[in-house]
A and B are shown apart, each in its own frame.
Chain A
Amino acid sequence: MKYMLLIHQGDTPTPRDPEAWSRLSEDEQKEVYGAYQAINETPGVSSGVQMQPPETATTVRVQDGKTLTTDGPFVAIKEALGGYLFFEADDLDAAIELAARIPAARMGGAIEVRPIGER
Protein backbone atom coordinates (compact mmCIF):
# COMPACT_ATOMS: atom_id res chain seq x y z
CA MET A 1 0.00 0.00 0.00
CA LYS A 2 1.13 3.54 -0.70
CA TYR A 3 0.25 6.34 1.70
CA MET A 4 0.56 10.10 1.63
CA LEU A 5 1.25 11.61 5.03
CA LEU A 6 0.03 15.19 5.21
CA ILE A 7 1.76 17.17 7.90
CA HIS A 8 -0.31 19.88 9.57
CA GLN A 9 1.92 21.94 11.81
CA GLY A 10 -0.89 23.49 13.90
CA ASP A 11 0.82 25.12 16.90
CA THR A 12 4.11 23.32 16.34
CA PRO A 13 7.12 25.65 16.65
CA THR A 14 9.08 25.61 13.38
CA PRO A 15 12.22 27.46 12.26
CA ARG A 16 9.93 29.58 10.06
CA ASP A 17 8.71 31.29 13.20
CA PRO A 18 12.04 32.23 14.83
CA GLU A 19 10.38 33.48 18.00
CA ALA A 20 8.48 30.25 18.69
CA TRP A 21 11.44 28.15 17.52
CA SER A 22 13.81 29.94 19.91
CA ARG A 23 11.61 28.89 22.82
CA LEU A 24 12.76 25.31 22.26
CA SER A 25 16.03 24.32 23.89
CA GLU A 26 18.94 23.50 21.63
CA ASP A 27 18.50 19.81 22.45
CA GLU A 28 14.83 19.94 21.48
CA GLN A 29 15.69 21.64 18.20
CA LYS A 30 18.28 18.99 17.45
CA GLU A 31 15.77 16.29 18.29
CA VAL A 32 13.27 17.69 15.79
CA TYR A 33 15.87 17.80 13.00
CA GLY A 34 17.08 14.35 13.96
CA ALA A 35 13.55 12.92 13.91
CA TYR A 36 12.83 14.33 10.43
CA GLN A 37 16.13 13.01 9.17
CA ALA A 38 15.41 9.54 10.57
CA ILE A 39 11.97 9.60 8.92
CA ASN A 40 13.41 10.60 5.55
CA GLU A 41 15.90 7.73 5.83
CA THR A 42 13.22 5.16 6.69
CA PRO A 43 12.91 2.54 3.94
CA GLY A 44 9.76 3.18 1.90
CA VAL A 45 9.70 6.93 2.58
CA SER A 46 9.98 9.40 -0.26
CA SER A 47 9.95 12.92 1.05
CA GLY A 48 7.83 15.64 -0.51
CA VAL A 49 9.25 18.82 -1.96
CA GLN A 50 9.64 21.76 0.38
CA MET A 51 6.49 23.88 0.76
CA GLN A 52 6.67 27.57 1.62
CA PRO A 53 4.56 28.43 4.69
CA PRO A 54 0.74 28.61 4.34
CA GLU A 55 0.88 32.41 4.69
CA THR A 56 2.33 32.51 1.16
CA ALA A 57 -0.60 30.59 -0.32
CA THR A 58 -3.12 31.98 -2.79
CA THR A 59 -6.51 30.31 -3.05
CA VAL A 60 -8.28 30.31 -6.41
CA ARG A 61 -12.01 29.91 -7.13
CA VAL A 62 -13.98 30.36 -10.33
CA GLN A 63 -17.48 31.84 -10.14
CA ASP A 64 -19.54 32.50 -13.26
CA GLY A 65 -16.42 32.11 -15.34
CA LYS A 66 -14.56 34.73 -13.32
CA THR A 67 -11.37 33.82 -11.48
CA LEU A 68 -11.40 34.93 -7.85
CA THR A 69 -8.32 34.84 -5.67
CA THR A 70 -7.98 35.14 -1.93
CA ASP A 71 -4.87 35.55 0.16
CA GLY A 72 -3.97 32.52 2.26
CA PRO A 73 -4.78 28.80 2.27
CA PHE A 74 -8.21 27.19 1.66
CA VAL A 75 -8.53 26.25 5.33
CA ALA A 76 -7.44 28.38 8.29
CA ILE A 77 -3.67 29.01 8.50
CA LYS A 78 -3.36 26.72 11.50
CA GLU A 79 -5.14 23.91 9.69
CA ALA A 80 -3.17 24.32 6.47
CA LEU A 81 -0.85 21.73 5.03
CA GLY A 82 2.73 22.32 6.13
CA GLY A 83 4.42 19.47 4.30
CA TYR A 84 3.95 15.91 3.10
CA LEU A 85 5.72 12.70 2.34
CA PHE A 86 4.96 9.38 0.70
CA PHE A 87 5.34 6.03 2.39
CA GLU A 88 5.23 2.58 0.84
CA ALA A 89 4.14 0.27 3.67
CA ASP A 90 2.54 -3.09 4.33
CA ASP A 91 -0.52 -1.69 6.02
CA LEU A 92 -2.12 1.21 7.88
CA ASP A 93 -0.51 0.21 11.20
CA ALA A 94 2.94 0.80 9.70
CA ALA A 95 1.83 4.18 8.33
CA ILE A 96 0.34 5.18 11.71
CA GLU A 97 3.59 4.25 13.44
CA LEU A 98 5.58 6.40 11.04
CA ALA A 99 3.11 9.29 11.45
CA ALA A 100 3.49 9.08 15.22
CA ARG A 101 7.26 9.62 14.81
CA ILE A 102 6.80 12.93 12.95
CA PRO A 103 7.55 15.69 15.48
CA ALA A 104 4.51 17.80 14.49
CA ALA A 105 2.25 14.98 15.75
CA ARG A 106 3.38 15.52 19.36
CA MET A 107 4.12 19.26 19.26
CA GLY A 108 0.67 20.70 18.59
CA GLY A 109 0.03 19.57 15.03
CA ALA A 110 -1.36 16.42 13.45
CA ILE A 111 -0.62 14.04 10.61
CA GLU A 112 -3.30 12.92 8.16
CA VAL A 113 -2.64 9.50 6.68
CA ARG A 114 -4.19 9.08 3.22
CA PRO A 115 -4.01 5.91 1.18
CA ILE A 116 -3.29 6.72 -2.46
CA GLY A 117 -3.78 4.95 -5.77
CA GLU A 118 -5.13 1.40 -6.10
CA ARG A 119 -8.74 2.46 -6.65
Chain B
Amino acid sequence: MLANLIGYLGDFELAEEAAQEAFAIAAERWPRDGTPANPRAWLVTTARNRAVDRIRRDRTLAAKTRLLDVPETVEDEIEETTIPDERLELIFTCCHPALALDAQVALTLRTLGGLRTDEIARAFLVEEATMAKRLVRAKGKIGAAGIPFRVPPAHLLPDRLAAVLAVVYLIFNEGYGGRGELAAEAIRLGRALTELMPDEPEARGLLALMLVNDARREARFADGTLVLLRDQDRSLWDHDQIADGRAELDRALALGGRGPYALQAALASLHAEEPQDWPQIAALYGELARLTGSPIADLNRAVAVAETGEAEAALALVERLELDRYHYLHATRAELLRRLDRVEDAHAAYGRALKLVRSEAERRFLEQRRAELRD
Protein backbone atom coordinates (compact mmCIF):
# COMPACT_ATOMS: atom_id res chain seq x y z
CA MET B 1 0.00 0.00 0.00
CA LEU B 2 2.76 2.44 0.93
CA ALA B 3 4.70 1.54 -2.22
CA ASN B 4 1.68 2.37 -4.32
CA LEU B 5 1.11 5.67 -2.53
CA ILE B 6 4.72 6.73 -2.89
CA GLY B 7 4.61 5.86 -6.57
CA TYR B 8 1.41 7.84 -7.00
CA LEU B 9 2.36 10.83 -4.89
CA GLY B 10 6.10 10.94 -5.52
CA ASP B 11 6.65 12.00 -1.93
CA PHE B 12 7.57 9.69 0.96
CA GLU B 13 6.44 11.96 3.78
CA LEU B 14 3.11 12.76 2.17
CA ALA B 15 2.50 9.07 1.41
CA GLU B 16 3.20 8.02 5.00
CA GLU B 17 0.94 10.71 6.43
CA ALA B 18 -1.84 9.85 3.99
CA ALA B 19 -1.57 6.14 4.83
CA GLN B 20 -1.83 6.89 8.54
CA GLU B 21 -4.85 9.08 7.93
CA ALA B 22 -6.54 6.37 5.87
CA PHE B 23 -5.98 3.80 8.63
CA ALA B 24 -7.41 6.20 11.19
CA ILE B 25 -10.53 6.73 9.09
CA ALA B 26 -10.87 2.97 8.58
CA ALA B 27 -10.61 2.38 12.33
CA GLU B 28 -13.51 4.76 12.82
CA ARG B 29 -15.76 3.75 9.92
CA TRP B 30 -15.29 0.02 9.37
CA PRO B 31 -16.68 -1.07 12.74
CA ARG B 32 -19.69 1.23 12.14
CA ASP B 33 -20.37 0.73 8.41
CA GLY B 34 -18.80 -2.70 7.87
CA THR B 35 -15.52 -3.63 6.19
CA PRO B 36 -15.47 -2.73 2.47
CA ALA B 37 -15.27 -5.47 -0.17
CA ASN B 38 -11.70 -4.55 -1.11
CA PRO B 39 -10.06 -3.27 2.08
CA ARG B 40 -6.69 -2.57 0.45
CA ALA B 41 -8.25 -0.74 -2.48
CA TRP B 42 -10.39 1.25 -0.07
CA LEU B 43 -7.35 2.25 1.98
CA VAL B 44 -5.28 3.21 -1.06
CA THR B 45 -8.11 5.27 -2.57
CA THR B 46 -8.88 6.97 0.71
CA ALA B 47 -5.21 7.77 1.28
CA ARG B 48 -4.85 9.12 -2.25
CA ASN B 49 -7.88 11.34 -1.84
CA ARG B 50 -6.67 12.63 1.50
CA ALA B 51 -3.26 13.41 0.03
CA VAL B 52 -4.76 15.23 -2.93
CA ASP B 53 -7.03 17.21 -0.57
CA ARG B 54 -4.02 18.13 1.46
CA ILE B 55 -2.14 19.35 -1.60
CA ARG B 56 -5.16 21.34 -2.75
CA ARG B 57 -5.35 22.97 0.68
CA ASP B 58 -1.68 23.73 0.80
CA ARG B 59 -0.87 25.87 -2.19
CA THR B 60 2.81 26.05 -1.29
CA LEU B 61 2.94 22.51 -2.60
CA ALA B 62 1.52 23.61 -5.92
CA ALA B 63 4.73 22.48 -7.64
CA LYS B 64 3.39 18.94 -7.35
CA THR B 65 0.56 19.72 -9.75
CA ARG B 66 0.84 16.48 -11.68
CA LEU B 67 -1.29 15.02 -8.91
CA LEU B 68 -4.05 17.52 -9.50
CA ASP B 69 -4.59 16.30 -13.04
CA VAL B 70 -5.84 12.99 -11.71
CA PRO B 71 -9.61 12.70 -11.79
CA GLU B 72 -11.31 12.32 -8.42
CA THR B 73 -11.71 8.70 -7.48
CA VAL B 74 -14.71 7.56 -5.56
CA GLU B 75 -14.02 5.47 -2.52
CA ASP B 76 -15.06 1.81 -2.74
CA GLU B 77 -15.36 1.81 -6.53
CA ILE B 78 -11.78 0.94 -7.31
CA GLU B 79 -11.01 -2.71 -8.04
CA GLU B 80 -8.17 -4.48 -6.29
CA THR B 81 -6.56 -5.38 -9.64
CA THR B 82 -6.35 -1.75 -10.76
CA ILE B 83 -3.86 -0.95 -8.00
CA PRO B 84 -0.42 -1.84 -9.31
CA ASP B 85 2.12 -3.49 -7.05
CA GLU B 86 4.88 -0.89 -6.90
CA ARG B 87 7.08 -2.50 -4.28
CA LEU B 88 9.80 -3.15 -6.86
CA GLU B 89 9.96 0.51 -7.87
CA LEU B 90 10.06 1.36 -4.19
CA ILE B 91 12.96 -0.93 -3.30
CA PHE B 92 15.02 0.39 -6.22
CA THR B 93 14.37 3.91 -4.98
CA CYS B 94 15.28 3.04 -1.38
CA CYS B 95 18.49 1.31 -2.50
CA HIS B 96 19.60 4.06 -4.87
CA PRO B 97 23.39 4.44 -4.76
CA ALA B 98 23.04 8.21 -4.32
CA LEU B 99 21.89 7.44 -0.76
CA ALA B 100 24.33 6.41 1.94
CA LEU B 101 24.30 2.66 2.59
CA ASP B 102 23.00 2.99 6.15
CA ALA B 103 20.20 5.20 4.84
CA GLN B 104 19.36 2.62 2.15
CA VAL B 105 19.09 -0.06 4.80
CA ALA B 106 16.96 2.05 7.14
CA LEU B 107 14.66 3.24 4.37
CA THR B 108 14.14 -0.29 3.05
CA LEU B 109 13.23 -1.59 6.49
CA ARG B 110 10.94 1.36 7.12
CA THR B 111 9.03 1.46 3.85
CA LEU B 112 9.12 -2.15 2.65
CA GLY B 113 9.58 -3.99 5.91
CA GLY B 114 7.13 -1.76 7.73
CA LEU B 115 9.40 -1.60 10.78
CA ARG B 116 8.95 1.41 13.04
CA THR B 117 11.76 3.91 13.41
CA ASP B 118 12.40 2.86 17.03
CA GLU B 119 12.61 -0.81 15.98
CA ILE B 120 15.17 -0.03 13.27
CA ALA B 121 17.14 2.13 15.69
CA ARG B 122 17.22 -0.70 18.23
CA ALA B 123 18.25 -3.25 15.60
CA PHE B 124 21.22 -1.13 14.53
CA LEU B 125 22.08 0.03 18.04
CA VAL B 126 21.63 3.74 17.42
CA GLU B 127 19.48 6.34 19.17
CA GLU B 128 15.95 6.64 17.85
CA ALA B 129 16.48 10.36 17.21
CA THR B 130 19.58 9.56 15.12
CA MET B 131 17.66 7.01 13.07
CA ALA B 132 14.72 9.40 12.64
CA LYS B 133 17.09 12.09 11.37
CA ARG B 134 18.71 9.62 8.98
CA LEU B 135 15.32 8.64 7.55
CA VAL B 136 14.12 12.23 7.19
CA ARG B 137 17.34 13.21 5.45
CA ALA B 138 17.12 10.25 3.04
CA LYS B 139 13.48 10.90 2.20
CA GLY B 140 14.27 14.58 1.70
CA LYS B 141 17.08 13.76 -0.68
CA ILE B 142 14.90 11.43 -2.75
CA GLY B 143 12.52 14.30 -3.41
CA ALA B 144 14.99 17.17 -3.69
CA ALA B 145 17.60 15.39 -5.81
CA GLY B 146 15.09 13.73 -8.11
CA ILE B 147 15.90 10.09 -7.35
CA PRO B 148 13.51 8.30 -9.71
CA PHE B 149 10.73 5.98 -8.58
CA ARG B 150 11.08 3.21 -11.14
CA VAL B 151 12.76 -0.05 -12.00
CA PRO B 152 16.04 1.03 -13.64
CA PRO B 153 16.40 0.63 -17.41
CA ALA B 154 18.32 -2.41 -18.70
CA HIS B 155 21.72 -0.72 -18.96
CA LEU B 156 21.60 0.31 -15.28
CA LEU B 157 19.84 -2.78 -13.94
CA PRO B 158 22.78 -5.11 -13.20
CA ASP B 159 24.54 -2.57 -10.94
CA ARG B 160 21.35 -1.41 -9.31
CA LEU B 161 20.07 -4.92 -8.67
CA ALA B 162 23.40 -5.72 -7.05
CA ALA B 163 22.87 -2.73 -4.74
CA VAL B 164 19.38 -3.94 -3.77
CA LEU B 165 20.61 -7.47 -3.07
CA ALA B 166 23.51 -6.07 -1.03
CA VAL B 167 21.11 -4.14 1.19
CA VAL B 168 18.92 -7.19 1.78
CA TYR B 169 21.96 -9.35 2.53
CA LEU B 170 23.34 -6.72 4.90
CA ILE B 171 20.04 -6.74 6.79
CA PHE B 172 20.21 -10.54 6.92
CA ASN B 173 23.76 -10.53 8.25
CA GLU B 174 22.88 -8.03 10.97
CA GLY B 175 20.22 -10.53 12.00
CA TYR B 176 22.51 -13.53 11.60
CA GLY B 177 24.80 -12.11 14.26
CA GLY B 178 22.00 -12.78 16.74
CA ARG B 179 19.12 -10.36 16.11
CA GLY B 180 16.79 -12.89 14.53
CA GLU B 181 13.94 -10.56 13.67
CA LEU B 182 16.16 -8.83 11.08
CA ALA B 183 17.06 -12.14 9.45
CA ALA B 184 13.37 -13.01 9.11
CA GLU B 185 12.69 -9.57 7.66
CA ALA B 186 15.52 -10.00 5.14
CA ILE B 187 14.10 -13.36 4.06
CA ARG B 188 10.68 -11.78 3.58
CA LEU B 189 12.27 -9.06 1.44
CA GLY B 190 14.29 -11.66 -0.48
CA ARG B 191 11.15 -13.69 -1.18
CA ALA B 192 9.33 -10.58 -2.36
CA LEU B 193 12.21 -9.88 -4.77
CA THR B 194 11.95 -13.36 -6.31
CA GLU B 195 8.21 -12.86 -6.76
CA LEU B 196 8.73 -9.45 -8.34
CA MET B 197 11.68 -10.54 -10.53
CA PRO B 198 11.09 -14.27 -11.07
CA ASP B 199 13.77 -14.56 -13.77
CA GLU B 200 16.66 -13.00 -11.84
CA PRO B 201 18.99 -15.84 -10.82
CA GLU B 202 20.87 -13.73 -8.29
CA ALA B 203 17.67 -12.78 -6.46
CA ARG B 204 16.91 -16.50 -6.15
CA GLY B 205 20.51 -17.20 -5.20
CA LEU B 206 20.29 -14.68 -2.37
CA LEU B 207 17.01 -16.12 -1.10
CA ALA B 208 18.48 -19.64 -1.23
CA LEU B 209 21.57 -18.48 0.65
CA MET B 210 19.54 -16.81 3.39
CA LEU B 211 17.14 -19.74 3.76
CA VAL B 212 19.89 -22.34 4.16
CA ASN B 213 21.98 -20.26 6.54
CA ASP B 214 18.99 -19.19 8.61
CA ALA B 215 17.83 -22.82 8.88
CA ARG B 216 20.84 -23.47 11.10
CA ARG B 217 20.13 -20.57 13.39
CA GLU B 218 18.86 -22.60 16.37
CA ALA B 219 22.04 -24.67 16.31
CA ARG B 220 24.48 -21.78 15.92
CA PHE B 221 24.29 -20.68 19.52
CA ALA B 222 24.18 -22.69 22.73
CA ASP B 223 23.71 -20.70 25.95
CA GLY B 224 24.69 -17.54 24.09
CA THR B 225 27.95 -19.02 22.77
CA LEU B 226 28.70 -19.58 19.10
CA VAL B 227 28.79 -23.24 18.03
CA LEU B 228 30.94 -24.15 15.01
CA LEU B 229 29.23 -25.88 12.10
CA ARG B 230 30.90 -29.22 12.73
CA ASP B 231 29.82 -29.21 16.39
CA GLN B 232 26.25 -28.16 15.69
CA ASP B 233 23.35 -30.37 16.75
CA ARG B 234 21.83 -31.22 13.37
CA SER B 235 18.50 -32.14 14.90
CA LEU B 236 18.13 -28.41 15.63
CA TRP B 237 18.41 -27.53 11.94
CA ASP B 238 15.24 -26.64 10.09
CA HIS B 239 15.48 -29.31 7.40
CA ASP B 240 12.33 -28.16 5.60
CA GLN B 241 13.83 -24.72 5.25
CA ILE B 242 17.09 -26.16 3.95
CA ALA B 243 15.06 -28.05 1.34
CA ASP B 244 13.27 -24.80 0.42
CA GLY B 245 16.63 -23.10 0.06
CA ARG B 246 17.98 -25.89 -2.14
CA ALA B 247 14.90 -25.69 -4.36
CA GLU B 248 15.54 -21.95 -4.78
CA LEU B 249 19.19 -22.70 -5.54
CA ASP B 250 18.15 -25.21 -8.23
CA ARG B 251 15.94 -22.54 -9.81
CA ALA B 252 18.80 -20.03 -9.69
CA LEU B 253 21.15 -22.51 -11.37
CA ALA B 254 18.51 -23.43 -13.96
CA LEU B 255 18.27 -19.71 -14.82
CA GLY B 256 22.00 -19.72 -15.46
CA GLY B 257 22.93 -18.29 -12.09
CA ARG B 258 26.69 -18.37 -11.53
CA GLY B 259 26.91 -15.05 -9.65
CA PRO B 260 28.19 -14.44 -6.14
CA TYR B 261 24.89 -15.18 -4.39
CA ALA B 262 24.20 -18.38 -6.33
CA LEU B 263 27.77 -19.50 -5.54
CA GLN B 264 27.40 -18.67 -1.86
CA ALA B 265 24.07 -20.51 -1.77
CA ALA B 266 25.73 -23.54 -3.36
CA LEU B 267 28.40 -23.32 -0.67
CA ALA B 268 25.82 -23.03 2.11
CA SER B 269 24.08 -26.08 0.68
CA LEU B 270 27.34 -28.06 0.54
CA HIS B 271 28.09 -27.05 4.13
CA ALA B 272 24.76 -28.51 5.19
CA GLU B 273 25.68 -31.93 3.80
CA GLU B 274 27.19 -34.72 5.83
CA PRO B 275 30.00 -35.53 5.23
CA GLN B 276 31.11 -32.28 3.64
CA ASP B 277 32.83 -32.34 0.27
CA TRP B 278 35.78 -30.15 1.25
CA PRO B 279 37.70 -30.23 -2.07
CA GLN B 280 34.51 -29.12 -3.85
CA ILE B 281 33.91 -26.44 -1.21
CA ALA B 282 37.49 -25.16 -1.56
CA ALA B 283 37.08 -25.01 -5.35
CA LEU B 284 33.83 -23.02 -5.09
CA TYR B 285 35.40 -20.55 -2.65
CA GLY B 286 38.24 -20.15 -5.15
CA GLU B 287 35.64 -19.37 -7.83
CA LEU B 288 33.91 -16.90 -5.51
CA ALA B 289 37.22 -15.16 -4.72
CA ARG B 290 37.96 -14.91 -8.43
CA LEU B 291 34.49 -13.47 -9.10
CA THR B 292 34.35 -10.95 -6.27
CA GLY B 293 38.01 -10.29 -5.48
CA SER B 294 36.98 -10.75 -1.87
CA PRO B 295 39.76 -11.70 0.55
CA ILE B 296 37.04 -13.15 2.80
CA ALA B 297 36.28 -15.76 0.13
CA ASP B 298 40.02 -16.56 0.12
CA LEU B 299 39.92 -16.87 3.89
CA ASN B 300 37.07 -19.36 3.62
CA ARG B 301 38.94 -21.25 0.93
CA ALA B 302 41.82 -21.57 3.38
CA VAL B 303 39.46 -23.05 5.98
CA ALA B 304 38.18 -25.58 3.43
CA VAL B 305 41.74 -26.45 2.44
CA ALA B 306 42.54 -27.04 6.12
CA GLU B 307 39.58 -29.41 6.33
CA THR B 308 41.05 -31.53 3.54
CA GLY B 309 43.96 -32.09 5.96
CA GLU B 310 46.32 -29.46 4.55
CA ALA B 311 46.69 -27.18 7.60
CA GLU B 312 50.16 -26.02 6.53
CA ALA B 313 48.95 -24.98 3.06
CA ALA B 314 45.89 -23.32 4.61
CA LEU B 315 48.06 -21.27 6.98
CA ALA B 316 50.19 -20.10 4.05
CA LEU B 317 47.00 -18.92 2.30
CA VAL B 318 45.79 -17.09 5.40
CA GLU B 319 49.09 -15.31 5.94
CA ARG B 320 48.97 -13.82 2.44
CA LEU B 321 45.65 -12.06 3.13
CA GLU B 322 45.39 -8.40 4.02
CA LEU B 323 42.57 -8.59 6.53
CA ASP B 324 44.30 -7.42 9.68
CA ARG B 325 41.17 -5.69 11.03
CA TYR B 326 38.96 -8.75 10.52
CA HIS B 327 38.55 -10.92 13.60
CA TYR B 328 37.80 -14.09 11.57
CA LEU B 329 41.25 -13.88 10.03
CA HIS B 330 42.87 -14.05 13.44
CA ALA B 331 40.41 -16.65 14.71
CA THR B 332 41.17 -18.81 11.66
CA ARG B 333 44.93 -18.35 12.07
CA ALA B 334 44.56 -19.34 15.71
CA GLU B 335 42.69 -22.53 14.79
CA LEU B 336 45.30 -23.48 12.18
CA LEU B 337 48.20 -22.76 14.54
CA ARG B 338 46.51 -24.88 17.18
CA ARG B 339 46.28 -27.80 14.74
CA LEU B 340 49.97 -27.37 13.95
CA ASP B 341 50.70 -27.45 17.71
CA ARG B 342 52.07 -23.90 17.73
CA VAL B 343 50.39 -23.15 21.06
CA GLU B 344 52.07 -19.79 21.83
CA ASP B 345 51.33 -18.37 18.38
CA ALA B 346 47.75 -19.67 18.58
CA HIS B 347 47.31 -17.96 21.96
CA ALA B 348 48.49 -14.63 20.54
CA ALA B 349 46.22 -14.99 17.49
CA TYR B 350 43.16 -15.65 19.70
CA GLY B 351 44.10 -12.53 21.64
CA ARG B 352 44.17 -10.48 18.45
CA ALA B 353 40.77 -11.87 17.38
CA LEU B 354 39.30 -11.09 20.82
CA LYS B 355 40.43 -7.47 20.53
CA LEU B 356 38.44 -7.10 17.30
CA VAL B 357 35.31 -9.21 17.86
CA ARG B 358 32.03 -7.39 18.45
CA SER B 359 29.45 -10.12 19.04
CA GLU B 360 29.25 -11.33 22.65
CA ALA B 361 28.49 -14.93 21.60
CA GLU B 362 31.58 -15.04 19.40
CA ARG B 363 33.69 -13.49 22.16
CA ARG B 364 32.71 -16.25 24.59
CA PHE B 365 33.51 -18.86 21.96
CA LEU B 366 36.98 -17.44 21.31
CA GLU B 367 37.73 -17.14 25.03
CA GLN B 368 36.72 -20.76 25.48
CA ARG B 369 38.95 -21.90 22.61
CA ARG B 370 41.88 -19.93 23.96
CA ALA B 371 41.40 -21.40 27.45
CA GLU B 372 41.38 -24.94 25.96
CA LEU B 373 44.85 -24.37 24.51
CA ARG B 374 46.37 -24.79 27.94
CA ASP B 375 44.77 -28.18 28.55
Report A's interface with B, CB cutoff 8 A: 1, 3, 89-93, 95-96, 113, 115, 118-119
- Is B144 positioned at the interface, with any CB of A under 8 Å from its CB? yes
Tell me the minimal C-beta distance from A90 to chain B in angstroms: 7
Contacts of A95 in B (CB 8 A): 146
Between A and B, 26 residue pairs with Cβ closer than 8 Å are A1-B146, A3-B146, A89-B146, A90-B146, A90-B148, A91-B146, A91-B147, A91-B148, A92-B96, A92-B98, A92-B145, A92-B146, A92-B147, A92-B148, A93-B147, A93-B148, A93-B156, A95-B146, A96-B98, A113-B145, A115-B144, A115-B145, A115-B146, A118-B63, A118-B144, A119-B144
Instruction: Report the interface size class on chain B.
Output: 10 to 19
Q: In the complex, what residues of B have CB within 8 A of residue A118's CB?
A: 63, 144
Distance A3 CA – B145 CA, assembled complex (angstroms): 8
What is the minimal beta-carbon distance from A113 to any residue of chain B, in angstroms?
Answer: 8
Contacts of B147 in A (CB 8 A): 91-93
Expressed in whole angstroms, the minimum distance between the Cβ of B150 and any Cβ of chain A is 8
**CB interface residues, B 180-202, toward A, < 8 Å:** none
Complex alpha-carbon distance, A89 and B148, angstroms = 11
Q: Is the interface of B mostly helix, strand, loop or mixed?
A: loop
> Interface readout for B63-103 with A: 1 if CB under 8 Å, 0 if not?
10000000000000000000000000000000010100000
A104 to B39, CA, bound (A): 54
Work out how many contacts link A and B, with CB atoms closer than 8 A. Answer: 27
CB distance from B119 to the nearest CB of A (A): 29
**Residues of B close to A93: CB separation below 8 A:** 147-148, 152, 156
Q: Which residues of B contact A96 (CB under 8 A)?
A: 98
Q: Knowing that A92-B98, A95-B146, A113-B145 are A-B contacts, what are 19 other residue pairs whose CB atoms are under 8 Å apart, sorted by A's residue number?
A: A1-B146, A89-B146, A90-B146, A91-B147, A91-B148, A92-B145, A92-B146, A92-B147, A93-B147, A93-B148, A93-B152, A93-B156, A96-B98, A115-B144, A115-B145, A115-B146, A118-B63, A118-B144, A119-B144
Q: How many whole Å from A91's CB to the nearest CB in chain B?
A: 4
Q: Please give me the residue from chain A that is nearest to B140 by CB atom.
A: A119
B140-176: which residues lie under 8 A (CB-CB) from chain A?
144-148, 152, 156
